[in-house]
Structure 1
Amino acid sequence: MIRKATETKLKKYWYCLLGKELYVYKNKQEEKHKGMHNLVGVFIKDEPEEYLDSTTVLYPFSLIFPGNKPRVYYLLNKEDKEKWMNAIKKVIGYSNLFDYYDIKETLGKGKFGLVKAAQHKKTGKKVAVKVMSKKEMTVQDVELQRREIEILKMCQHPYIIRLLDIFENQDYIYIVMENLSGGDLFTYLEKRNFEISERRAKELSHQIATALYYLHSFGVAHRDLKPENILMASDDDDSDLKIVDFGLSKIIGPNESSLDPFGTLSYVAPEVLLQKPYGKEVDLWSLGVIAYLLLSRVLPFDDEEDKEIARQTIQDAPDFSFEPWDQISSDGKDICKRLLEKNRQKRLSLEETLQHKWFSEFKDIHDQRKTASSSPNALDNKFEAFALTSTSKESITKDMRDLQKEQDAKK
């Protein structure tokens, strides 16, 4: 292969591909290599023909190494170029989204790109493709997406979005998932004026709880559970739900805790706001907020001011004195109250939640799920998101510490 020394000067090298290592030699007879390039994490890109002069045509391709560092290689004929590209594609595990899927209309817009409808060319299966531009992402953003991908790879649960395929090149990450047509849980409720039966609220809450049981059995805390991160399989009244968006999820061991300030303000547990150590029980608090919303049509802690929402979350008990709480069963009220316990040590555990009287009709389902998950083979929007990071974290941290001092003084 040939490299360009300057725009007009070519330099010929000999290359040997061994596994995922590309060795470089100055001449064909040389035994000791001049250099070696590891192809782990490398992307390959076809390049258009170049004319060095009126008689010389070059056939290039480029390798993009980690850190987005490209190297261009030139061949003197098309056949050799295809031979080298095919050999490198094989060792780096290259695959192209557009070889497998027909991309259709836009379904929505995310932080780093679009969500597109697509159809598998052979099976005809309809899917959704999350298209993320690396140019719009920081290194931390890319790592969060990789974390989400790794978690989704191990999730095989009826109430968790299913990952079907992953493609990546130097410019984009493509995540292929099942296509859900019902919109998110907030939209589902909004279309029904937030009025659903207690029976339906119980079904949805139980589906979330069983999905959390599955996640927690793998040590995964979702950490950003809210209606916008729950999608409905269809627009039917009795549609199942699917938990999505694992970008803020974290593996937390049985005896481990975390201090990372992640979550969405109206759904985040008080221990996160107070920057105290927390575990997977933060997801139980979020479940309590969602169950309260499903039953009462409003959030338990809400205000136009973020600081007031935080204060209520830390200090106030949830209110059960207004309609429609007088129509809700005592078991429905009890599970919300115990999930919204400020002290994480006294809050209902996930096991206790699934064994609660409110979910008694699902006991057989839970017992089956428990057995399966223990198997070694088990693989004007007042709900606006408020990410507890950087500036927002700093803006309320002092107030939260002051509130904690007030609470300590009262003891």
Structure 2
Amino acid sequence: MQMLELIICYRKHLIADQIYEIRLTDNTLTLTNPKRPDTPKYIFPLNWSSEISWQLTSKENAFGFYTQPKKFKWFHAKQSDLLILKKILSKFVSFTKVQDFYEATEHLASGSSSQVYQVVRKSDKNNNFVTKCITKETIQNSVEKMNGLFDELNILKQLNHPNLPRFEEFYVGDGTYYIVLEYCQGQSLNSYLKELRHQLNVRIIQSILWELLQGIAYLHSLNIMHRDIKPENIILNIQEKKIDLKIVDFGLSVKLEPNKELKKCGTPGFVAPEIINLKNGKYGLESDIFSVGCVFYKLLLRKDLFQGETQNEILSANRRCQLNIYNLQLIHIPLTAQNLLSEMLQEDPRLRIKAVLALQHPFFRENFRISTRNINLNLSHFRSSFHTQTSNTKQQHSDDEILVDYFNNELPPINQIPVFLKYHKNGQKITQNQDNQNSQSTDSKFLYRNISKSTG
């Protein structure tokens, strides 16, 4: 916790005001009479269930809380001191009356139980904030959902990275919870890809994937798993060839702890197979990497890795996890990109590349001056043969024979990219739809969220 210089406050009385010293520990705020420093008069627990009210106006500067279930008390101090106190407490407790501090300016997104608005801070007219508004009645009668909200807050308050949103404050209203976050300028990666009429240049893909992995590596260093990495939860702001990227929506995020049982969650088409086929309540940070691999695939082809006409069909394909990325070599995707993708999409999470190692992958150092025609990609043997293939490819071409068509031009129009929906199962060739009919689906038991636009 940030150190707090001694702040003096007072409580108004008819005869004489009572002076108190404000002190903070890791889990309490105490108000102590200076004459009795070892005996706090008021002890206020620091947790998200504790609520503090503020009066910060030209006429009144005070904060207050319930000292008993039916006794609310105000404590007055200098406004500058209270602003410091409010900033520190924002990471630990709830505040009341969000309307005293913020004003909504634009509706940004909707979810099943929440709305997201851009807001302006009244004190300085700064509009660099959003508020995620969660309807109380949808979660407050469920211990599990309330704990999920507090878990999200505990994760958000830890974040301090350019590829992640900055947490500001948490407010409790009569019927709504308000999470105030940094406003992430730009549009979702999903919207960005929909608006494009051609494939992305590989150098842009490099930049997007690099920023995404930077944020994931930071989360994993804190033992935090996002659990819902998908294009809708990636916000891009591209200006003058500079890409700013933010990973948003931490509603399903969790901090891994020993013996903590995890549940199935995520979005069909981007979920790691060990989550879909979960049996023992255990999976790890590697599941985020599989989701990043699904995003990487979509960046390369602008098509989803797992396809279907319904959510259940997509989830069924996702569950089988029978990958066919042969089409990557047909459109001259660089060998290094193919290798990194295969490292991310390993079905066995123990074989999956970690985020910090992915950032060191040759794909991010590739200058794309090497021809990638006619490259044979086999997921089971690709890892061991990668360096040999790269070396041989370099030796096959002199400088004047180098093919540069991939990075000098965009990929073919989207309708010219082949899609393979057939594969072999038990020695027989079947279609994806036939396999969907044959599989025993438990999709109705799988928890997923599919929000068209997601922020914070």
Output the TM-score relative to the length of structure 2.
0.58
Q: Pick from 261, 266, 270: which aligns with 2:264?
A: 261
Tell me which residue corresponds to 1:107.
108
Tell me which residue corresponds to 1:24.
none
Question: Which amino acid counterpart does residue 137 of structure 1 have in structure 2?
Answer: I
Question: Which amino acid counterpart does residue 136 of structure 2 have in structure 1?
Answer: K
Q: What is the 5 A alignment of 1:199-218?
A: 199-218=203-222
Distance 1:257 1:320, change over 3 A: farther
1:350-381 CA deviation, whole Å, 9 max, x = no partner? 2321111112379xxxxxxxxxxxxxxxxxxx
Q: Does structure 1 residue 330 correspond to structure 2 residue 321?
A: no
Q: Pick from 324, 336, 347: which aligns with 1:319?
A: 324
Q: What is the 5 A alignment of 1:253-332?
A: 253=257, 258-276=261-279, 277-306=282-311, 308-322=313-327, 326-332=331-337
Could you tell me which runs of 5 or more consecutive residues in structure 1 were left unpaired when the two chains were aligned: 1-15, 22-36, 47-62, 74-83, 363-391, 398-411
Deviation at 1:42, TM superposition (A): 5.5
Q: Pick from 155, 158, 161: which aligns with 2:159?
A: 155
How far, CA to CA, are the matches of 2:357 and 2:298 in structure 1? 21
How far, CA to CA, are the matches of 2:113 and 2:308 in structure 1? 29
1:237-289 CA deviation, whole Å, 9 max, x = no partner? 74411111111111125x76754111112111111111143111000000100
What secondary structure is seen at the aligned counterpart in 1 of 2:275?
helix
Q: Pick from 136, 150, 160: which aligns with 1:134?
A: 136
Q: What is the 5 A alignment of 1:173-252?
A: 173-193=177-197, 195-233=199-237, 238-252=242-256
1:146-187 CA deviation, whole Å, 9 max, x = no partner? 211111101011111111222224432211112233221101
Deviation at 1:207, TM superposition (A): 0.9
Moved more, 318-327 or 241-250: 318-327
1:281-325 CA deviation, whole Å, 9 max, x = no partner? 000000100000100111112112555444533445432333685
Identity, in percent, stands at 26
Equivalent residues of 1:185, 1:231 under 8 A apart: yes
Distance 1:352 1:130, change over 3 A: same
Output the TM-score relative to the length of structure 1.
0.64
Equivalent residues of 2:213, 2:355 under 8 A apart: yes
How far, CA to CA, are the matches of 1:117 and 1:259 in structure 2? 33
How far, CA to CA, are the matches of 2:317 and 2:299 in structure 1? 19
Q: What is the 5 A alignment of 1:50-89?
A: 85-87=73-75
Equivalent residues of 1:114, 1:132 under 8 A apart: yes
Deviation at 1:340, TM superposition (A): 0.6
Question: Which amino acid counterpart does residue 111 of structure 1 have in structure 2?
Answer: S
Equivalent residues of 1:258, 1:278 under 8 A apart: no
How far, CA to CA, are the matches of 1:347 and 1:279 in structure 2? 11
What secondary structure is seen at the aligned counterpart in 2 of 1:266?
coil
Q: Does structure 1 residue 122 correspond to structure 2 residue 110?
A: no
RMSD: 3.8
Equivalent residues of 1:167, 1:174 under 8 A apart: yes
Q: Does structure 1 residue 145 correspond to structure 2 residue 149?
A: yes
More helix by share: 1
How far, CA to CA, are the matches of 2:329 and 2:267 in structure 1? 26
Equivalent residues of 1:182, 1:235 under 8 A apart: no
Moved more, 278-287 or 222-231: 222-231
Question: Using CA pairs below 8 Å that are at least 6 residues apart, which structure has the higher relative contact order?
Answer: 2
1:213-241 CA deviation, whole Å, 9 max, x = no partner? 10011110111111111222468774411
Could you tell me which runs of 5 or more consecutive residues in structure 2 were left unpaired when the two chains were aligned: 1-17, 23-28, 31-41, 55-64, 86-92, 368-440, 447-456
* Aligned length in residues: 310
Moved more, 98-107 or 240-249: 98-107
